[in-house]
Amino acid sequence: MPSDNPRVFASGLRMRFRRWLARRIPPSRKVTLDQRRIFIFPSRPGFFFCLLLLLILLTAINYQNNMAYAVAFLLATLFVVATLHTYANLAGLTLQALTATPVFPGQRSEFRLRLQRGGQAPHYALRLAWPQGSDGLLSLADRDSCEVALFVPVGGRGWHDPGRLLVESYYPLGLFRCWTWVDLDMPALVYPQPLASADLPGISSELPQGSSVEIAGSDDFHGFRAYRAGDSLRQVHWKGMAKGHALQSKMYGSYSSHSAWLDWEAFPGVPSEQRLSHLCHWALVLEQRGEEYGLRLPGLELAPSVGDTHQSKVLAALALFGFAGVDP
């Protein structure tokens, strides 16, 4: 519906465009670019090139010069041929979402993608950019695929959708811009903002922050066990590995002795976002000390443990708390 207010009208158009785009290029973690997904339009230099063509044609007409005609037509046809070449530079390219690194608010999440070409033909000067994120220029000239990392600043706690990724190219002549907006369905997880608080019941804060890094010496070592996915890298018995043994993790006796609960109910009267921030803070502190900790949220309980996998689970639970229908 056209509106009297041009700004409202414009934003309405944008909405319609987004909805149309969502139908045309639905979110997918792997997208191969084809004629349904690629847009092409003359670039700024392309329009100037058209002016140049007109100028040459006028020269040809006014001087009745057949070779000037020939150049005008050759360049005009070159312009048409350039559409095919520019289109072909994006066609057949496959983009695949790899990972989106979870981050804390205010940081930039790293989005890793893989680019794969369809055949042996080279693709040049592909520009990838997320709105508000970093952009990059790369070519697939002598390799079939490559991995790309792009960084996008994130917003608040929860899933951060970076929006649609712009893939564009001006190759070979710069007269056309060929582009697409793909939704790679790769949201990044944003943890709550850590916020220090008074001591929690059952957790001592005696260890001043910063001196707690030396975990290995602070507790009693009591043996090895086979490495399990999720074990902290600090636990890995690197010396043994260097000697050629299988990967092992060092076990410390103190893990079973301390076991703290990070409890939602421990902060009576504190607003819920702030509670999550405190819990997040303590999860980081305890993980750094190498002490076991569990998490209790309304409707969710994670048994005490320690290690990267556990920390990820805890932080993810905190990040997604309160968002209906989202699974950590």
Partner 1 sequence: MKWPFAAGLPSAGLPSAGALIPRNALVWIVISQFALLAPHLLRLPLWLVLVYLATAVWRLMVFQGRASFPGRRVRGVLALAGFGAIYLSYGNLLGLEPTVALLLIAFAFKLLELVKPKDAYVLLFLGYFICVIGFLFSQDLLLVFYSLLTLVLVTTGLVALHRPHEDHFRMSSLRQPAVMLAQAFPLMLVLFFLFPRIGPLWTVPVKSHAAKTGVSDFMKPGDISSLSQSAEVAFRVQFEGEIPPKSELYWRGLVFSVLDDGAWRSLRYGELPGLELRPAPVEPTGDLLAYTVLMLPTQQNWLYSLRYARAQQAGILSTADYRLYSTIEIEEQLQYSVRSWPTTLLESELSSWRRATELALPTAGNMATRELALRIRATAADEADFVDAVLRYFRQEPFVYTLQPPLLDSVNPMDQFLFESRRGFCEHYAYAFVLMMRAGGVPARVVAGYQGGEINPVNRTVIVHQFDAHAWAEVWLPNRGWVRVDPTAAVSPDRIELGLEQAVAGEGSFLANSPLSPLRYRGVNWVNMLRLRYDALTYQWQSWVVGFNGEEQYRLLQNLFGSVRAPLFAAVVLTSGVLVLAPVAWLLLRRRRARRLPPEQAVYLQFCAQMASRGIVRAPGEAPDKFCHRIDKELPTLSAWAQQFTRDFMQLMYSGDSLKPQSRQQLLAQLQLQLRRGPREAH
Q: Please, which of residues 251-280 interact with partner 1 by CB under 8 A?
A: none
Residue 236 in the binding site for partner 1 (CB under 8 A): no
Total of chain residues touching partner 1, rule CB under 8 A:
76
The residue range among 81-89, 214-222, 235-243, 252-260 that interacts with partner 1, by the rule CB under 8 A, is: 81-89
Contacts (CB under 8 A) with partner 1, residues 164-203: 170-174, 194
The residue range among 13-21, 89-97, 234-242, 296-304 that interacts with partner 1, by the rule CB under 8 A, is: 89-97
Cα distance between residue 56 and residue 266, in whole Å: 79
Question: Of these, 101, 232, 274, 305, which contacts partner 1 (CB under 8 A)?
Answer: 101
Residue 211 in the binding site for partner 1 (CB under 8 A): no
**With respect to partner 1, which residue has the nearer C-beta, 58 or 216?**
58
Q: Are 50 and 110 in contact (CB under 8 A)?
A: no
Question: Of these, 151, 252, 267, 282, which contacts partner 1 (CB under 8 A)?
Answer: 151
Read off the tokens for 125. 């000067």
Contacts (CB under 8 A) with partner 1, residues 46-65: 48-49, 52, 55-56, 58-65
**Residue reference for tokens 């902290």:** 232
The torsion of the CA quartet 235, 284, 113, 320, rounded to 10 degrees, works out to: 130
Residue 127 in the binding site for partner 1 (CB under 8 A): yes
DSSP per position, 180-232: EEE----PEEEPPPP---SPPTT----SPTTSTT--TTTS-EEEEEE--TT--
Residue 232 in the binding site for partner 1 (CB under 8 A): no
Residue 300 in the binding site for partner 1 (CB under 8 A): no
- Taking the complex as a whole, the smallest distance from the CB of residue 225 to partner 1 amounts, in Å, to 22
Question: Of these, 28, 94, 259, 305, which contacts partner 1 (CB under 8 A)?
Answer: 94
Residue 91 in the binding site for partner 1 (CB under 8 A): yes
Question: Of these, 3, 5, 11, 77, which contacts partner 1 (CB under 8 A)?
Answer: 77
DSSP per position, 50-118: HHHHHHHHHHHHHHT-HHHHHHHHHHHHHHHHHHHHHHHHHTT-EEEEEEE--B-TTSEEEEEEEEE-S
Of residues 303, 299, 301, the one with CA closest to residue 324: 299
**With respect to partner 1, which residue has the nearer C-beta, 75 or 215?**
75
Cα distance between residue 138 and residue 164, in whole Å: 19
